[in-house]
Amino acid sequence: MEANVVVEGRSANSRLALVKDSIVKIRSKVAEFPGKMKKVAEDDPRRIVHSFKVGLAITLVSLFYYFDHLYVGFGSSAMWAVLTVIVVIEFSVGATLGKGLNRGLATFLAGTLGFGAHHLANLPGRELQPILLGIFVFILAATVSFIRFFPRMKVRYDYGLLIFMLTFCLISVSGYRDEEVLEMAHKRVSTILIGGFTAIFVCIFICPVWAGEDLHNLVANNLEKVASFLEGFGDEYFRKSSEPESNKASLQVYKNILNSKQSEESLVNFARWEPPHGLFRFRHPWKQYLKIGSLTRQCAYRIEALNGCLNSDVQASPETCGNFREAFIKASSETGKAVKGLASAMRTMTLPSADCPQTTKSKNAADNLKSLLRTGLCQGIDIVEIIEVGTVASLLLDVLACTEKISESIHELASLAHFKRLEPDEKDGKPDLDKQKQVRQSSNSIASNHHHHIIIIE
């Protein structure tokens, strides 16, 4: 008996401790929740604005239920307007337009075909009506499901195809029991269109978020990350022998590029739906961004290999490093500066210079590195050190070749998108002093002939 009491007491204590642990975990999660909300808002303040926009759009369409004279016209179908806003409105304008137009067009076409199928099924009589309706539903559902396998349709119109199939089935099947199928289709299509236009209006005219701009900035940011690594790689590589605990965190920003393919493809798909805005004209070459992004990722994979050389256990001796130090650092830094110049030109949508000095210096540094490897400086060096140095040099040269392809793609984008051309004085980022002098002299001559006050703004 006493043993049983002791066992029961221990089990009760263990349950009590388990309950206390659960309460502590719940309290800690509740306490962490405001901090997580703050972090999400700080990462992108546009998320807060989007949340208010969603609330406003749903409130506007819910007025169909709150006011009697609006509810009488649509009845219970008014709920479809609310549902449409919830499923259509997205973070960016392109995503909202894509889903809204898909849903609106699919609903209209499916409603028309559904009413037509119902009318054709009624012609032979009541006995054959369910058989014909079943055949129509089977043919349409099978055809639409097969069309969804087409890659182009899957990417851009998959949501519309689903809504098309759903609406057709609802109208044609429910029309068998409900004789007022035309009125039902009219109300449903009207409320869905109202909800879709409300979501699109709020998304476009209240603090719009353009997917095209996000895509443009994403590709430019990725190029800057590549440039940042290359500019710091040379110094970091030759510092590893003397300072093994040096901070390499600043060189790890390129890792986000490796997983950016899905984001770029989604943004390109959304950007195609958007109307002209800002510097992005009608029929902007969005596909070119995919090409630049793909080349940037190829460069990032080579950079990943270079980053592995920083953490390699095989280290060249200081004597070997001294032979190649200047060539490595110059090739890496000049290539990084060239990529940064391309990123800056792309971000500002200006035509990159064909004779960029950084690109020329980068090619010269690569040629010097190649000639250095061909000379007799490698004689008398351990074969393992030769392999390591040769691997790093080969990767650097490969990165340079990849950056040349990126430069060609950006020039192609600049030509297709009609990037503006910088004047010579704007390229250097300095005002033209000769022009200022001419303006000042002409202003002084005017002031001497006429008694006016001339204010010169430089």
How far is Cα of residue 33 from the mean position of the Cα atoms in its chain? 27
Q: What pLDDT shows up at residue 81? A: 87
Name the percent of the chain lying above pLDDT 90: 28
Q: Highest mean pLDDT range out of 113-127, 212-226, 294-308, 355-369?
A: 212-226
154-177 average pLDDT score:
83
Q: Highest mean pLDDT range out of 100-114, 386-400, 437-451?
A: 100-114
Name the percent of the chain lying above pLDDT 70: 74
Q: What pLDDT shows up at residue 35? A: 84
pLDDT band at 445 (very low <50, low <70, confident <90, very high): very low
Q: Looking at per-residue confidence, does 381 or 223 come out higher?
A: 223
Q: Looking at per-residue confidence, does 294 or 381 come out higher?
A: 294
How far is Cα of residue 452 from the mean position of the Cα atoms in its chain? 55
pTM for the model: 0.79
pLDDT band at 138 (very low <50, low <70, confident <90, very high): very high
Q: Which residues pair with 280 in a beta bridge?
A: 277
Find the range with the poorest average confidence among 307-311, 323-327, 368-372. 368-372
Q: What pLDDT shows up at residue 218? A: 94
Residue 410 near residue 352, CB atoms below 8 Å: yes
The pLDDT tens digits of the residues spanning 385-434 come to 667 777 777 888 888 888 889 999 999 999 999 888 766 555 444 444 34
Q: What pLDDT shows up at residue 173? A: 75
Find the range with the poorest average confidence among 91-105, 221-235, 281-295. 221-235
Q: Highest mean pLDDT range out of 247-251, 324-328, 403-407, 432-436?
A: 403-407
pLDDT band at 248 (very low <50, low <70, confident <90, very high): low
47-75 average pLDDT score:
85
Q: Kindly tell me if the per-residue pLDDT of 437 is higher than 50.
A: no
Q: What pLDDT shows up at residue 242? A: 47
Q: What pLDDT shows up at residue 418? A: 87
Ramachandran bin of 178, using left for φ above 0, alpha for ψ from -120 to 50, beta for the remaining angles: beta
Q: Kindly tell me if the per-residue pLDDT of 177 is higher than 70.
A: no
Q: Kindly tell me if the per-residue pLDDT of 231 is higher than 90.
A: no
305-324 average pLDDT score:
66
Q: Looking at per-residue confidence, does 233 or 384 come out higher?
A: 233
pLDDT band at 179 (very low <50, low <70, confident <90, very high): low
Q: What pLDDT shows up at residue 285? A: 93
Question: Average per-residue pLDDT in the chain?
Answer: 78
Q: Looking at per-residue confidence, does 433 or 240 come out higher?
A: 240
Q: What pLDDT shows up at residue 294? A: 94
Q: Looking at per-residue confidence, does 247 or 391 come out higher?
A: 391
Tell me the one-letter amino acid at 271: A
